[in-house]
Structure 1
Amino acid sequence: MSDDLKPPDLAAWQRLFEDKAYWQQSPDAHYAELLRVADDLLGQGAIDLDQWQALKAKADQSHKDSPAVNVAHEVDDPDA
C-alpha cells in the first residue's frame, strides 16, 4: 500500500510543517497543504476542534513569517 492511500496522522502533519525547503520555495502551497492535512485529520476524527485550531494557528504563523524569512535568506546568500 502506498503512502498516498493511508490517511494522514499528526506525525505526517508535523513532518510537512518542518519541511523548510517546501515552505521556502512555495509558502502558499505549503500553507494550503498544512490546512488540507489538518482538515483531513479533523474529518477522520484523529483530532478534535481544539487541536485543529492549534494546527491552524501554527500554519498561520508559519505562513505569516515566510516572506521575512525568505528575504533574510536571500540577503544572507543571494546565490542560493
Structure 2
Amino acid sequence: MSDDLKPPDLATWQRLYDDRAYWQQSPDAHYLELQRVADDLLGQGAIDLDQWQDLKDKAEQIHRESPAINVAQEVDDPKA
C-alpha cells in the first residue's frame, strides 16, 4: 500500500496555507483546497467543529487578501 494516499492532517493544511506561490498563482484554487482539506479533517474526526471553523476563517481571510482580488478591486476603484 502506498503512503501517498494517507489522509491529510493539520500539518498538511498548514503547509498548504503557507504555500504563497500557490496562493499567488491561483487564489481561488488555493482557497478551495484549504476548504477541502479542512472538511476532510472534520470528516475523519481529526478536528472538532470549532477547529474547523477556525481553519475556515483563516482560509477566508487569506482569500480576501489574495492578489487577484486586490488587483480587481484596484481596477474597479483606483482610489481605494
Q: TM-score, normalised by structure 1?
A: 0.81
Seq. identity, %: 79
Provide, for residues 32-68 of structure 1, a one-character-per-residue CA deviation record: whole Å limited to 9, x for no partner.
0000000000000000000000000000000000037
Structure 1 residues 1-80: aligned runs within 5 Å: 1-3=2-4, 5-67=5-67, 71=71
Following TM superposition, the consecutive aligned residue runs of length 4 or more in structure 1 with deviations greater than 4 angstroms are 68-71
Residue pair 2:41, 2:47 contacting (<8 A) in 1 also: yes
Q: Kindly name which structure, 1 or 2, has the bigger radius of gyration based on alpha carbons.
A: 2
2:60, 2:54 → 1: CA distance?
10
Q: What one-letter code is carried by the residue in structure 1 that aligns with 2:22?
A: Y
* Paired positions, count: 70
TM-score normalised to structure 2 length: 0.81
